[in-house]
Structure 1
């Protein structure tokens, strides 16, 4: 539990616990959806198409873009972008119903979003790599009437005073998380996802790990990312130190930034400088910062959420000033394009 309790008042986004499932209350966008959002609900029936690959390519146009290499999925009827897939990444941004994220206990920021971040069964390559399984998955994401919890909604389930939720295995897997971190070389003095969950975990590279009672219900910055992208959405997790690229998330923020198989979105001209161009960022990207004495040493990580009402590029992370996951900050700004964190941003990647 948090050591400093704060009240989370949610405006237009209510997280309600129903039989262990979190439901996000959405804005009613009206019968035609929100102009420019790309979302207008399900399209016509699959009847008349031989398979989902044919239906996808007939109802939608796949447009190739660069910097980074990606594919925009556009609805042929109105050319609205309904999904963006990045070559080499599993993260997919899908246009969905509008929603709003707020955290008034730490920030006046309001994030209005129609971006829903999904993790695909495999990394995307290009249109020629489209198969029936991937086409079926993509159509399901694009046309969902009631979209399930995505990466961004899951990230909100650990903010101040978020209600507890228990999964089918009896594990309390959501709820207000505290911050557990002591700066060290291997970060084992910090709280990983299994410490928060209070369960042992068997890693493919290092075997069984036991949770520490010192960190129960706590998450350090990289443990928070591993809980969301790994435990919740299936990205493989590694525990032993790494010095080469791995198909998953290593333990530390610096190892993630350097060795997680991903697409580089932004980086400074040197390891000690901030990126100058963040225009390619999209919600769900991982952001990395140098917050200690060495300006080239990455020590903090988070998830980019999108722009707030003032145009600030806001991210969520687990940090000490709020004693846990937050996209505000009682001592700072919480954006990546200016201020304290903007000056210390070093790298942006897309899983």
Structure 2
């Protein structure tokens, strides 16, 4: 081969290599965005783990007894920002301060920073905090504009509360009356679906229709079921029960005895009030024996916190004020003294 031909062949080879390199670069640069353009599986996993890491970096989880629970404390100042109880779904979260008042029935004022939330499942501490629950808890703790909680919803049925409709057009909030009759011949009361004026399908008895007799009214357990069940999604049953169930039975007595929950306080005997109430926290359910039999639970309510006098207030649907109230009409609305305090029998945490 002549010198000129060798030079030409070499130049051609170089040109081909350059073209090939340009083509490869162009293909890499212009390839459409696909799975590789988004976060990889390892990146997504790291993002998920970051929820646990953020929680444990910012907060300390401290396990306590009486009842078994975990306090979430902010690192730095040690402030308790949430309390989770082993076996319970209700979680108390520290939030903006608010005032509960009911001038028509009491001069009491409850000022509180406790917000009661319903966790996706009961709290069970174990090595390796659950990722989903960690994310849920972070959302609750760090929400500067928290949505309505259990206590806020409970206040939406007091006297003169304005009506409100949900996205389905159901009037689900507003002033509720008291609907219950208890005689030797008849026992009947207004459940949550009677107040809502809608039919409801229960898992144990099927579909039931509201009674026109109890239009916009609630008995005590119907009120608890409206708040915890209809508003916040805890399961509800309709038929009588005689064993522990993962939901809210129909009556106060069966709720106190058979709703899957954590026992917070009870008397030494079924006919005595609890000796200590120091473990009670906002959102707990309280139960009373208001009739002749001192051991028969006939009334239920929701504990909301201490008032300006340090008295422990609860809200329930009562005949004395014709509906939900935490007032003092014919008996102070507190659980640590007076009429209701003497008749308190049991406190549970859902």
Deviation at 1:51, TM superposition (A): 1.9
Deviations 1:218-261 (A, max 9, x none): 00000000000000001100000000000010000000000000
Structure 2 runs not aligned, ≥5 long: 1-45
Mapping 1:113-128, distance limit 5 Å: 113-128=112-127
Specify the alignment match of 1:315 in structure 2.
314
Is 1:62–1:127's contact at 8 Å kept on the other side of the alignment?
no
Is 2:270–2:345's contact at 8 Å kept on the other side of the alignment?
yes
Specify the alignment match of 1:138 in structure 2.
137
What is the CA–CA distance in structure 2 between the aligned matches of 1:224 and 1:156, rounded to whole Å? 11
Is 2:48–2:131's contact at 8 Å kept on the other side of the alignment?
no
Deviation at 1:187, TM superposition (A): 8.8
Structure 1 runs not aligned, ≥5 long: 1-46
Q: Structure 1 residues 215 and 97 mapped into 2: Cα distance closer, same or farther (>3 Å)?
A: same
Is 1:321–1:329's contact at 8 Å kept on the other side of the alignment?
no
4+ long deviations beyond 6 Å: 184-188
Is 1:49–1:55's contact at 8 Å kept on the other side of the alignment?
no
Deviates more, 1:130-139 or 1:252-261: 130-139
Q: Structure 1 residues 212 and 67 mapped into 2: Cα distance closer, same or farther (>3 Å)?
A: same
Specify the alignment match of 1:305 in structure 2.
304
Deviation at 1:131, TM superposition (A): 1.0
Specify the alignment match of 1:191 in structure 2.
190
Deviations 1:132-183 (A, max 9, x none): 1101100000000100000000000000000000011110000000000012
Is 1:186–1:252's contact at 8 Å kept on the other side of the alignment?
no
Is 1:322–1:329's contact at 8 Å kept on the other side of the alignment?
no
TM-score (norm 2): 0.85
TM-score (norm 1): 0.85
Specify the alignment match of 2:56 in structure 1.
57
Specify the alignment match of 1:21 in structure 2.
none
Q: Structure 1 residues 65 and 188 mapped into 2: Cα distance closer, same or farther (>3 Å)?
A: same
Deviation at 1:124, TM superposition (A): 0.2
Specify the alignment match of 2:146 in structure 1.
147
Q: Structure 1 residues 50 and 207 mapped into 2: Cα distance closer, same or farther (>3 Å)?
A: closer
* Alignment coverage as a number of residue pairs: 305
Specify the alignment match of 1:39 in structure 2.
none
What is the CA–CA distance in structure 1 between the aligned matches of 2:120 and 2:312, rounded to whole Å? 28
Specify the alignment match of 1:167 in structure 2.
166
Deviation at 1:49, TM superposition (A): 8.6
Q: Structure 1 residues 129 and 118 mapped into 2: Cα distance closer, same or farther (>3 Å)?
A: farther
What is the CA–CA distance in structure 1 between the aligned matches of 2:48 and 2:128, rounded to whole Å? 20
Structure showing the higher helix proportion among its residues: 2
Q: Structure 1 residues 315 and 159 mapped into 2: Cα distance closer, same or farther (>3 Å)?
A: same
Structure number with the bigger relative contact order (C-alpha 8 A, sep ≥ 6) is 1
Mapping 1:147-296, distance limit 5 Å: 147-183=146-182, 189-296=188-295
What is the CA–CA distance in structure 2 between the aligned matches of 1:307 and 1:127, rounded to whole Å? 33
Deviations 1:176-206 (A, max 9, x none): 0000001279997100000000000000011
Deviations 1:300-336 (A, max 9, x none): 0000000000111000000000000000032121000
What is the CA–CA distance in structure 2 between the aligned matches of 1:117 and 1:242, rounded to whole Å? 27
What is the CA–CA distance in structure 1 between the aligned matches of 2:153 and 2:127, rounded to whole Å? 32
Specify the alignment match of 1:104 in structure 2.
103
What is the CA–CA distance in structure 1 between the aligned matches of 2:265 and 2:258, rounded to whole Å? 15
What is the CA–CA distance in structure 1 between the aligned matches of 2:80 and 2:54, rounded to whole Å? 17
Q: Structure 1 residues 62 and 127 mapped into 2: Cα distance closer, same or farther (>3 Å)?
A: farther
